[in-house]
Every structure is written in C-alpha cells, then in structure tokens.
Amino acid sequence: MKNSLILFLISLVFTSCTSTKKAFVKGADIGWLPQMEATGYTFYDQDGTEKECLQLLKDRGMNSVRLRVWVNPNTDKASGHCSKEETVAMALRAQKMGMRVMINFHYSDSWADPAKQYKPKAWETHSFPELLNDVYNHTYDVISALKAAGVTPEWVQIGNEIPGGMLWPEGSTNNWKQLGQLLNKGYEATKAVDKNIKVIVHVDEGNNNTKFRTFFDNATAQNVKYDIIGLSYYPYWIKKDYTETIADLEFNLNDMVKRYNKDVMIVEVGGEDDKVQNTYELLKATIEAVKKVPNNRGLGVMYWEPQGAKSWSGYSLSAWQNDGKPSPALDAFKEN
C-alpha cells in the first residue's frame, strides 16, 4: 500500500510538471497584417482558396505572434500604424485564434533598430528623469490596456534590437548607467501589471557571441532585470549563408544560457523570399539549434513578417509568394 501511494504521488508530480511545460514557440511578427488587410491584400491557401492570414500561419504550425507598438505613429502604410489601440485589437484577434502573444516596445514613433533609436517626438525635450517616467508609464499603459481587453501577453520585449542602446542619446550604450535604468523601468512596469509576464531584452546578430557578451556583461554590471535573451538571426544582412553561421548561433545560444542563466529565444529570423529551399533549410536549422539548447531553455523561433509579401511591402525577406500564398519555406515550422 505504501509503495503504491509513493508511485501515485510520483505520477502526480510528473503529470504536473509535464502539463505546465509550455510548447515550443513557433511564431511570426505580424505588425503589417492590419495594414495589409486595410489596403485590400488578400491571402490564399495553396489550393487557391481565400483564407484568414492567422489561420494560414496556424496551419503551418505557428502558435504565437509578436506585435510591435510605437508611441505616436503616423498613418504611413509600411512605417506607421502599430499604435496602442491597433496592437490591442490585433492581440485580441490572435488570442481568439488560440495564439500566444509577445509585445515588442520600440519606444519610438517608428522603426527602432541598431542604426536608429530615435525618441518619440513627444519625449524629445524631456530630461532623463522624465524619460524614466515615460518608459514606465508608456509600458504600463499599453500592457494595462491589453489586460483590460482580456489579453495578458506571455512576453514583453523592452526595446527592439538594442546593441547600441535605446532612446538616444540618453539611453545609448555610451552611458550604460542610464540605459540600465531605462531597461529596468520597462521591466518594473511590466511586472506591475502582471508578475508572470516574461521580459525580453533583444540584440541583433545572434551568431555574434562577442557582441552578446559585451552587451549582457554590461547589463549584468548595471543590475538590469530581465527573464529572456532575445536574438535576431539574419544571415542575409551579414552577407553570409546560414551554413557559415549556424554553428556560431548554436554556440551563442548555449553560451548565453550558461553565462547569464537566462532562457533564450530567436525573436526574429528571415530568409530571402525567392530562395525558397534555402530559407526552408535556414528555418529548419534554426529551429533545431534552439531545440538543442539543454534543459528546454531554448524557447522558440519567430519569423519576422512572413506574411509581409514583397509585392505589398517591398521587403524581400518575407515568406509569401506573389500570388498571395504562403511560401513552402514555412513548412519548416510545421515539420518541427
């Protein structure tokens, strides 16, 4: 009887552990989707039937979406929108489709990336203490609006591709003390809304271990608070095939976990839309590299704007064909 009870309790613990383990993240950044639909873009399945874009992504194995949010964006088709209100509406729509949600704060009125981290116009004349309040209040406001609408994002990203910092010049990596305070304000605002939301800090060139060590060593020195290291991986932008850099990505993923004791996730990846087989293989290799991180600390992979067809966006690293159908390259998500 005693042994039976012990076995029963062990099985309960095992069931509890396995049931709480989250599924591997396979997703897409889809910030352009509402604009695409508003301008009349139509999505089709491989058999030519018109279908809702999120359903097409789900059919290819995707279970998550990533949504950027800008402070006071304009109405430009490709470089605007993504306001708080639009982000809430899109997050609610994705959740109703059974998808998990990541919110990506750029802290700008338009694109923020390694080449540019411009302050929102409304914050341009603010002192550094005011900028700290701006980051906290904007982050808290957006996540609170999401929660009020019934969507609690699983992840929140504080800054977009910030190897050189954000909110320049005050938050540049030339002044790590201030950057650390800004990042912590984003973290604190997120956790004030819901302590279970995981906070991501995101750097580009996921195959560049030196860049990541430099950034996250400084973050550690400034006691920056975060839960997950987010990486971009675009062989195209460094003019190398993925076969030349995938081993470096794999090394860096493992090194980040060991060095900083953080989970890791590829929050942006993409390949050339006219090189379908190569992009398929890139995605398959990237997914495998993340899955191989020990102890399930590699959380997942997200494609950046797969549905953002070049015919609409001019962006050549989407994964959508000119006929409005998803690229077969996305089958890598379904098969893995």
DSSP string, 281-331: HHHHHHHHHHHTSGGGTEEEEEEESTT--HHHH--TT--B-TTS-B-GGGH
Q: Is the peptide bond before 169 cis (omega within 30 degrees of 0)?
A: yes
Quick one: pLDDT at residue 335?
76
Nearest Cα to 279, choosing from 269, 288, 289?
Answer: 269
Q: Give the E-state strand segments of the chain in sequence order.
A: 25-29, 64-69, 100-105, 155-158, 198-203, 228-233, 263-269, 298-304
pLDDT over 60 (residue 18): no
All residues at 6 or more sequence positions from 301 whose CB lies less than 8 Å from its CB, including other chains: 25, 26, 27, 265, 266, 269, 283, 286, 287, 290, 333
- Supply the DSSP symbol for 122: G
Kindly write down the DSSP assignment for every residue of 42-81, as one continuous string.
Answer: --B-TTS-B--HHHHHHHTT--EEEEEE-SS----TTT--
| Cβ(325)–Cβ(44) below 8 Å | yes
Q: What is the mean pLDDT of the chain?
A: 93
The pLDDT confidence band at residue 78, using thresholds 50, 70 and 90, is confident
Query: Based on the number of CB atoms within 10 Å of its own CB, is 239 exposed (0-12), middle (13-18) or buried (19 or more)?
Result: exposed
**CB-CB neighbours of 42 under 10 Å:** 10
Query: Quick one: average pLDDT of 153-175?
Result: 98
Domain boundaries, the chain: 27-335
State the Cα–Cα distance between residues 101 and 281, nearest whole angstrom.
26
Is 333 in contact with 62 (CB distance < 8 Å)? yes
pLDDT value for 322: 94
What is the spatial distance between Cα 334 and Cα 336, in angstroms, rounded to a whole number? 6
Check pLDDT > 50 for residue 233. yes
Average pLDDT over residues 204-233: 98
Q: Does residue 160 surpass a pLDDT of 70? A: yes
Tell me: pLDDT of 333 over 50: yes
Tokens of 329: 């390259």
β-strand partners of 157: 104, 200
Class of domain 27-335: alpha beta
Taking the C-alpha atoms of residue 143 and residue 191, their distance in angstroms, rounded to an integer, is 10
Q: Considering the chain, what percentage of its residues have pLDDT values greater than 70?
A: 93
Residue 21, SS3 per DSSP: coil
Q: What per-residue confidence (pLDDT) applies to 19?
A: 38
- For the stretch 294-326, pLDDT in tens is 999 999 999 999 999 999 999 999 999 999 999
Nearest of 294, 229, 219 to residue 266 by alpha carbon: 229
Q: Name the band, by pLDDT with cuts 50, 70 and 90, for residue 220.
A: very high
pLDDT at 15 over 80: no
Residue type, 114: P
Active site residues: 161, 268
Residue 92 pLDDT = 97
Higher pLDDT, 293 or 336: 293
Kindly state the tokens that stand for 217.
């060593």
Confidence of residue 9 (pLDDT cuts 50, 70, 90): very low
Per-residue CA distances from 81 to 138, 165, 170, 285, 309 (Å) = 16, 23, 26, 33, 18
- What confidence tens digit (pLDDT) does each residue in 258-278 have? 999 999 999 999 999 999 999
